[in-house]
Chains A and B, each alone.
Chain A
Amino acid sequence: MGKIVVGIADIKVSNNPEDTLITYALGSCIGVIVYDPVVKVGGLLHFMLPESKVNPQRAKENPYMFADTGVPLLFKTCYKYGAKKRRMIVKVAGGAEIMDEAGYFNIGKKNYAVLRKIFWRNGVLIRAEDVGGMVNRTVELDIVTGEVRLKITGQGIRKL
């Protein structure tokens, strides 16, 4: 198989050891990466916006657009492949912000806040994260090892 690209407002889940899931240019969007090391199932969600109530019609067409509709589907899809919640390693990247002193352009911050709330309600812990700032991030998940690589434009690549 090889590189499987996760688009904006998209999700991919795989248990094929040859696969790498990658999502480019997160901006204020957030990439949620989950991995069960026992069954080697991994999933990547690239959501755009915090809450589906701002545009219920689009949420119906594509639930992966929003944190509140996309995150539950990421976990449910992984369960179908045999992943178990208690074993799943969760990593988070993105949620960057444009410069705004007055606080009217807060999508990155709101995306992260809503995600934390969903995780808290469901008892999910974040193992590693790289969020905020003004940078554009790309993340990829290697299905065979569970390794997550983070690339920040202008700064190079490191493990997350």
Chain B
Amino acid sequence: MKSTVERIINFIDRLPPFPFVAMKIISMARDENISMKEIAEVVQHDPSITANVLKWCNSPFFGLRRKVTSIHEALVYLGIKYLIEIVMLSSCAPYLDKKLVGYELEQGELWHHSVACAILSQILAEKVGYQEKTLLFTGGLLHDIGKIVLGEFVKEALLKIKMLIARGKDFLEAEREVLGMDHAELGAKIGEKWNFPEEILRLIAYHHKPEETKDPAVALVHIADAGVLMLGIGAGMDGLAYKAKDEAYKLLGLKEKDLMSCMGDLWAELVEIEETIFRE
């Protein structure tokens, strides 16, 4: 009989690879001297990502006056930052836009949560003047990727997990105690398999433990995640049973009223993208 951890690792090995183009774009995004032409050439290699980028460019959200028909044109209109975000959104959607039985999340709920967290991390980054927003966006989007695998195992262990929550443990501790691994650690393992850069692995692995790194990006994703959970977006049967850490506020020099104000701005952005990202 295999241990639960072994079974979880087997599950990861069977996951399909992350789209090559998106991987390439992540590594290019770290290079400040990258040219629009180089990015356009990479994106064009993947027809489904190209089609998605064009669909989103032509959506009412961007409100462009003429129809965009090529990646090169899209880049000219949107700029590199938006283009990379759209590439990441369209690459991650197939993994995150799923029903997760163990967490009692209907299809679309984890996706909503992930997109909202990515956007709120950007709004908070703007507030504190944090610069490396592209990696932050991708990390915000993928922070809960471990749930897509762990969901299956959470379902089996639900009663034990609920008992631990009733005794005052948070959901992450309960996952670790019952299954031998939590969704943050597991998410980072998935990211390793997909060859994600160190910065993104750190965002995934520590998004519930910002006090263990002094990385402001981790603190931003932590607060964004808490804000989105408090809005009820993607809070399944785990609900809000996670610890929010004031160390993250201190590291960034933020206060609760800043988070509230940014949550108001998040609402406005979610309303704008609703039609494009959440309704096919």
Contacts and interface: CB of A to CB of B under 8 A. Distances in A.
Nearest to A111: B230
A29 B232 contact: yes
Interface in A120-160: 133-137, 153-154
B249 to A, nearest CB: 6
Interface residues of A, number: 38
A5 interface: no
A79 interface: no
Contact of B243 (A25, A48, A100, A107): A100
Given A28-B230, A136-B232, A104 B244 contact: yes
A55 B261 contact: yes
Contacts, number: 118
B237 A154 contact: yes
A54 interface: yes
A104 B229 CA distance: 15
Contacts of A99: 170, 240-244
Contacts of A133: 239
Contact of B232 (A25, A49, A106): A25
B267 A8 contact: yes
Interface string A15-34: 00000000011111100000
A105 B256 contact: yes
A97 B239 CA distance: 9
Given A25-B232, A27-B229, A153 B237 contact: yes
A29 B104 CA distance: 20
A49 B235 contact: no
A106 B239 contact: no
The list of the 8 closest CB pairs from A to B, nearest first, reads: A27-B232, A154-B237, A25-B232, A58-B264, A28-B230, A55-B264, A104-B246, A105-B244
Given A58-B265, A153-B104, 15 more contacts: A25-B235, A27-B231, A27-B240, A28-B232, A49-B264, A54-B260, A62-B267, A99-B241, A99-B242, A105-B244, A134-B239, A136-B239, A153-B235, A154-B162, A154-B239
